[in-house]
Structure 1
Amino acid sequence: MTRPAPSYSDLSQEQLAILLPELLLSGQLIDRSGMAHLISAFGREVMGQVAIEEWMAASPVYTHRMRTTMGIDGDGVEDMFKCLQLDIGAPPQFMDFRYEITDKYHGAFVLNHCGALMDVEPMGDEYVTTMCHDIEDPTFDATAIATNRRARIRPIHRPPRLPADRHPHCAWTVTIEPDREELPLPPDAEEMFTRRAASVELSSVDEESTDGWIDYRGPLVDDLQFREWSHSLLVRTAEEVALQHQLLALGFLVSLRRVASGTEQVSEIYRKQLTGIAGLSADRLRAALGVGRDAEGLATVLALHPCFGPTQYTGVSVAVDGDQVRLRIPRHSDAMTDGGWVTLLTDEHFEPLQAAATAVDPHWAVADAVMVDDALEVTFGMGEQARKESGEVAVARFSSGATFEFSDRGRSIPITPVTSGV
């Protein structure tokens, strides 16, 4: 008997509250997978340029979507900070942003812990400067202009750290001035707004729900506690975060095509990026949700995996069939039209799927991959021989995010403006 794997909507509020930080962290770790292969092929400077272009292409688009989902309709720093809290560029705790509001148009933040810095510091000051100066300056502004095109994010201090143990890791001011020139939308973001990922419809939020937050119209809070959110808002947010993965990958692809020697090299690096993050995310998702290593567990991980969803965009479906798992990828979907990750999955190249399966249990293997009714159907079966983790996953695993543990920080507490006198 064939049974469909659970979707986000099939999970409980408790499960979704555990899953959402994992999805945000997974998005951050995409670059730990992709950038290593860029450095190998082109060097540090090209890697930096691709990182700038991918984030500037994707972040204005997905920030616009998240503002709409959350009912964040203001144009001040508080509204901007809310968006940052739901951005794969700033997953909670791993990128431990601490926010301060002076007034509607002035604020600041520090990073008490920057997981990205912890990953890059051992590589030396040149790589730290590339990340914390060259990449951050334009990409922070690209994110900010989704809230207000007169916003500017500027450093107070940032790495390389002097002294070496300086804390917080960095500090930034955020200002919005009415007489300041508006920043333009980056050209790649303009093009990204025309992609189907920018307008795909996801699950609706039940505005009549009484089981928790239905939007983020209230005050900015420290440490979002997702267990306080309604079930329908958690489902929609999980889908949006999965879509953030897809948009960032598309931004990576747009930039990669400018520097690669041809389509073969583009496909090779794009596939390596997906393979690394597919395996690493599958490993963390299985552990976070506490699912088994059997067919039910594999199907659950694949169905909830952000690299293969959201299903409204990719069309990917997963089912358990006895002791096997079947995954179906339609050849016609919004993701296929956009040229997203799913285009890499064929009957000859299923390395990302194998990487995800291996992360659930080394004995899982792709037993078959065939075209059926204009869709690729991939069958997973348990084998006797354990497979080794792929090199692409091992490369991504160098990040401290691979073993990062989230902690319970209590309830959501509103951030009081420093000028309030309270």
Structure 2
Amino acid sequence: TNPHAQIRPIHRPPRRPADRHPHCAWTVSIDPSHTPPVMTAHTEQIGSTAAVTVELSPIDHGGDGRADYSGPLLSDLRFSDFSRSALVRIAEEICVQHHLLALGFLAAVRRRADEDKAREITRKQLTGIAGVAAQRIRDALGLPSTLESLALVLSVHPLLNPKQYVESEIRQDGGALELRISREALVDRDGGWPTLLGSEHLDPLQALVRGVNPHFTVRVVAEDAAGLLLAVDITEAPAPECVEVAITKVSTGAAFVFEDRGIPLPLFVV
């Protein structure tokens, strides 16, 4: 609320009871000599997107497990301590963060290249992320390389989530799988990831389905202003890993895994 404000910690004695609220204390000093940061057009642009205001799933505070981050300050955070509805909300928020980062990336590239080149570069970014994310979801869930597994991966993949922001429909029946992506969702107002897809631009979806099984391939069944309908076929020969996925795997974050570090211990801020 004041661009001249700075935050510094208050000195406290070394010991504090665990139930002290708040666990840490801060003071704000306002100095008119501090130069306030400039709000860039880029920041305001992202702040006005539908992704910022999308309403996600409510958390059931009466369910088993933690519903929020309240309680003692701990040395670690364990997802298993949270309720199912809280975990759903966390996953949705993480997917929204994916879309916001992609929108910010696209806006930054647009300042340096024309529209066609900006969309081409962002599409390559999406191709790498879509393929790696599909592989990681498949492996995390221990799924076989079947169409049923692909349907499950599609249902939770960040490209198509959260459902309140991206509208899609997955139809899986035996040896057939179809995916319909709407053109009338909130993400389409923002010009986000799904708007980069089309009959001439299937690379991100090819990388996604082949992240589950390299024998999978997508083809367009129908495309109009209302949406894109695709079918998944199975090829005899496996497709090679695309360059964008290989480059994305160079990042150390692409191989990140969670580990159990035991029971978190309370921290006492001094």
With the length of structure 2 as denominator, give the TM-score of the two structures. Answer: 0.85
Q: Secondary structure at the match of 1:177?
A: strand
* Contact 1:326 1:380 (C-alpha < 8 Å) held by counterparts: yes
Query: Given the alignment, which residue of 235, 242, 249 partners 1:397?
Result: 249
Matches of 2:239 and 2:43 in 1, distance apart? 40
Q: Say if 2:23 and 2:73, in contact at 8 Å, map to a contact too.
A: no
- Deviation (angstroms), 1:367: 3.3
Separation in structure 2 between the aligned mates of residue 76 and residue 207 of structure 1, nearest angstrom? 34
Q: CA deviation at 1:415?
A: 2.0
> Would the alpha carbon gap of residues 390 and 344 (structure 1) be closer, same or farther in structure 2, given more than 3 Å must change?
same
What are the within-5 Å matches in structure 2 for residues 361-380 of structure 1? 361-371=213-223, 374-380=226-232
Counterpart residue number, 1:205: 59
1:246 to 99, 107, 110: 99
Partner Cα separation in structure 1 for residue 77 and residue 93 of structure 2: 16
The question of whether the paired residues in 2 share the 8 Å contact of 1:225 and 1:410 is answered with no
Aligned in 2, Cα 1:76/1:304: closer, same or farther, shift over 3 Å? farther
Q: Deviations over 1:224-276 (max 9, x none)?
A: 1010001111001100100000000001111110001x111111101000000
3-state SS of the aligned residue for 2:228?
Answer: strand
1:103–1:374 Cα change, 3 Å: closer
Runs of 4+ aligned residues of structure 1 deviating over 6 Å after TM superposition are none
Gap change, CA 1:229 and 1:187, over 3 Å in 2: same
Distance 1:76 1:287, change over 3 A: farther
Consecutive unaligned residues in structure 2, runs of 5 or more = 1-6, 10-21
Measure the CA separation in 1 of the matches of 2:55 and 2:81: 24
Shift of 1:323: 1.3
Q: Confirm or deny that 1:217 pairs with 2:70.
A: yes
Amino acid at match of 1:271: R
Q: CA deviation at 1:286?
A: 0.5
Q: What is the Cα deviation at residue 217 of structure 1?
A: 2.2
Which whole-Å deviations, capped at 9, do the CAs of 1:320-378 have from their partners, x for residues lacking one? Answer: 12212211111111100101011011122111111011111100011334226821011
Paired position in structure 2 for 1:136: none
Of Structure 1 and Structure 2, the greater helix share is in: 1
Per-residue deviation, 1:185: 4.9
**Rounded Cα–Cα distance in structure 2 between residues aligned with 1:233 and 1:406:** 18
Any conservation in 1 of the 2:8–2:28 contact (CA below 8 Å)?
Answer: no
User: Deviation per CA, 1:291-326, whole angstroms, max 9, x where unpaired?
Assistant: 121011111111111122111101122231221221
* Distance of 1:192 and 1:220 partners within structure 2: 32
Q: Which has the larger radius of gyration?
A: 2
Is contact 2:138–2:153 with CA below 8 Å preserved after alignment? yes
After TM superposition, list the pairs within 5 Å mapping 1:85-104 onto structure 2: 103-104=24-25
Other-structure match for 1:159: none
Cα shift readout 1:169-227 (whole Å, capped 9, x = no counterpart): xxxxxxx6322456565542222221100111111111222x11111122332221010
On the 8 A contact 1:368/1:380 being kept in 2, the answer is no
Q: Equivalents in 1 of 2:73, 2:37: separation in Å?
A: 25
In the other structure, the counterpart of 1:279 is 131
Q: Provide the TM-score with structure 1 as the length reference.
A: 0.56
Match of 1:302 among 154, 158, 174: 154
Question: Are 1:179 and 2:43 counterparts?
Answer: no
Q: Does the 8 A contact of 2:95 with 2:162 survive in 1? A: yes
How far did residue 280 of structure 1 move? 0.8
Deviations 1:31-65 (CA, angstroms, capped at 9, x unpaired): xxxxxxxxxxxxxxxxxxxxxxxxxxxxxxxxxxx
SS at match of 1:398: coil
The number of aligned residues is: 249
Letter of the structure 2 residue corresponding to residue 188 of structure 1:
H
What secondary structure is seen at the aligned counterpart in 2 of 1:328? strand
- Distance in 1 (CA, whole Å) between partners of 2:121 and 2:45 is 22
Letter in 2 for 1:416: F
Q: Deviations over 1:144-166 (max 9, x none)?
A: xxxxxxxxxxxxxxxxxxxxxxx
Q: Percent identity?
A: 41
Q: How many angstroms apart in 1 are the aligned matches of 2:71 and 2:181?
A: 40
> Which amino acid counterpart does residue 29 of structure 2 have in structure 1?
P
Distance 1:319 1:228 in 2: 33
* RMSD, aligned α-carbons: 2.2
1:384 to 2:249 alignment: no
Query: Secondary structure of 1:221's match?
Result: coil
Structure 2 counterpart of 1:282, which letter? Answer: A
